[in-house]
């Protein structure tokens, strides 16, 4: 089986989207009250952080010469 390269930007985006889902799941279960537009800053902030993470990762990989993640 071929291994895929690790992409931290996608990990960050997934964590923030999972957090947004968990916030609304808690609201639906009646554990707490969540304002209707709470997902907007949570998801937007997560996507911005994911973009920054992906850009930093790409810069590090370019500098090392490991663009595909498999070494030089």
pLDDT of residue 58: 94
pLDDT of residue 64: 86
Name the band, by pLDDT with cuts 50, 70 and 90, for residue 67.
Answer: low
Q: pLDDT by residue (tens digit) across 1-22?
A: 778 889 999 999 999 999 999 9
Residue 7: which of 71, 48, 67, 72 has the closest Cα?
Answer: 67
Indicate the burial class of 2 (C-beta count within 10 angstroms; 0-12, 13-18, 19 or more): exposed
Check whether 72 has a pLDDT greater than 60. Answer: no
Any idea where the domains of the chain sit in the sequence? 8-22+38-59
Q: What mean pLDDT is predicted for residues 30-48?
A: 94
pTM of the predicted model, to two decimals?
A: 0.81
């Amino acid at each position: 089986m071929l291994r895929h390269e690790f992409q931290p930007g996608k990990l960050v985006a997934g964590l923030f989207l999972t957090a947004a889902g968990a916030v609304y799941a808690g609201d639906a279960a009646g554990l707490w009250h969540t304002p209707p537009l709470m997902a907007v800053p949570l998801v937007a902030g997560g996507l911005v952080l994911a973009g920054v993470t992906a850009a930093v990762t790409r810069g590090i990989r370019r500098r090392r010469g490991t663009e595909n993640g498999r070494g030089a």
